[in-house]
Structure 1
Amino acid sequence: MDKKWNGTHSYHQPQLRVNVPSTAKERVSSVDPYGFKRSDDFDYESYEEFMSEYLVVLTRRSIKWSKLLHGKSQVERNVKVKRYIRKGVPNEHRASIWMAVSGSQEQMEKNPGYYQSLLQAQHDPKLMEAIHTDLHRTFPDNVQFRKTADPCLQKVLYNVLLAYGHHNKDVGYCQGMNFIAGYLIIITKDEEKSFWLMEALLGRILPDYYTLAMLGLKTDQEVLGELVKAKVPTVWRAMVEHNVMWTLVVSRWFICLFIDILPVETVLRIWDCLFYEGSKILFRVALTLIRHNQAYILQAQNLPDICDRFKQITKGAFVEDCHTFMEKIFKEPGSLSMATIIKIRGACRARIMVEES
């Protein structure tokens, strides 16, 4: 498979086929199962070649998950479930598994009617305006978010963001949240579940990422720098030599949780683990991208060149093969405990607060 397909939203589960046309382009829909329109340079032949292999994996995982769940949506947190999640959650179970392992299902059941009460409350005009401004910018390449779609997911997206803005007044709304909410809506197909998953991500898994000061986001960018210094020191030295701040090259990775950075199927596999294992998954992904491509990054001659190479390493065959990529993120970075991350976070956070005081 030398030539791979291009585009941010790359390969997904295949569409149902009614006939058997002669070319791959005729066999595969121009819109993927998540509603994203495939790019003009999408490589249909390579997509089919990959899917012929990946379908076997998807089928095997689906059978194993069905046996594990026995028709239930709840799962216990244990070694087996963790292993299953790392190997991928089938789409038919994804929403319920995310809800269960993140604690969102429990929160929703403890607070019946809370989501609707947020929508029925008096709304902040500034919050409403900020959300409205971003609606048309959210996934313009997704047919489900177009105004002509029936139903149009823009209205659902507006409701989820508005409710969350009133629920978490420290955050309100900021750019990037629309893409996260949009992904959640595509997968859950449910407003209230999307809201509670947002609450898990922004309130518990990634605190202070989206507050006005964005202290959590700034801290984690610096944490990544410290991890690169320890695990990929040649790249760290190159960053220092060319005076490249980490925020220049990885801020979008963190704030968008790799949406529009990596192919959608790869992002969903990352999110499977993010909801179960927490924020350390973001570091595993970032370290794998950097470590795997260190020779390419080290060829950079200056700051703009490094920035461009960080964009290029999120494309191509390595990230498009989501199953192999996910195996790599648990091998390539080596040991990475939450205790280590918390310790480095404390030091980085203190340093940032001194610098900004």
Structure 2
Amino acid sequence: MKMKKIYFLFLAFLSLSLTGTAQEIEKEWMMGPFERFTNGQPIVSSDTTTTFLDPMSGKTVLWESMATFNPAAIVHNDQIKVLYRAEERVGEDGIGTHTSRLGLAISKDGLNYTRKSKPVFYPDNDEQKKYEWTGGTEDPRIVETEDGLYVLTYTQWNRDLPRLAVATSRDLKNWTKHGPAFEEYKEGKYNDRDTKSGAIVTRLTEDGKLVAAKINGKYWMYYGVPHIWLASSTDLVNWEPVEDYEGNLMPVMNPRPGYFDSWLVEAGPPPVLTEDGIVMLYNAGNSKNIGVKELGNRIYTGGQALFDANEPWKILDRSNKPFIKPELPFEKSGQYIDGTTFIEGLVYFNDAWYLYYGTADSMVGVVKTKEEE
């Protein structure tokens, strides 16, 4: 089948909000429009009944009793598989004070999901213990290679420093942890620097499959917060940050005073290489005194940016307003009381794009495009 276009040209007449239908798409190169389709309900929420024998403490814990959010997604065996961050309450209050593991939800139709009762990825008594205990494994993104290897990027949180790390699997069950993404670069130059949110560039094949894309012989990954940086790799495990001629990190995208992304920008799901360039969906934080007053402070919305297909560091265009924002009740309740639509997972399934997001560090939501005819 022919490669599907990833946007729809409804520019002239789409003006409804995302509360039940599609929101206007601002520019032709953008993905969407996305619409809500789950009757205003999350697809994954916390569960106080599921237990897990924690290999680090030796205790049985309620591993997803507090929150389930910030999901990655992949199509595997004709099903959508969503890897979501799950937190248990460990006696403290506040964001970043709990223990995170990754759970798995599976859907055959994109609407109904069944969940595994145990986490599928978690801090263990292994060589990554110093980086992952006791904060855990957080905020995944996932891609597949042409030969069927699954590459997971995630945050290792040891309650001292967040580190962007890589793991791989052939079956989404058995994982090999490779450690911090930049551990080997220049004798660990960036290993003790805050890093997170690694989104590897993908492309859509002729048969509708998303795979990691090579540009000029390398894989590319956007990462970081409050600015977005760029890194390259030849093996998807060891990564080299893009630096300027002086050897300093060079951000490829920054917050913008006067816009919805005035406070911070953070890479979202794996970007997609299209005929227009690299389309990156990103998370945007607002500071209302220099941004958009109606959004308030720390409101996370979603934006889109276009980068050059041959020079991934070169930004070509950027949305001026969010294409998704917290509006429904479940998107405004949780650890972020003002709401978030924190986008992290993107798949192409049954001729439609499904975009998965975390809501207020509390639940998982999904929006989708209309099926192409």
If the length of structure 2 is used for normalisation, what is the TM-score? 0.30
Structure showing greater Rg: 1
Structure with a larger share of its residues in helix? 1
TM-score by length of 1: 0.30
Q: Which has the higher contact order (CA 8 A, sep 6+)?
A: 1
Higher strand share: 2
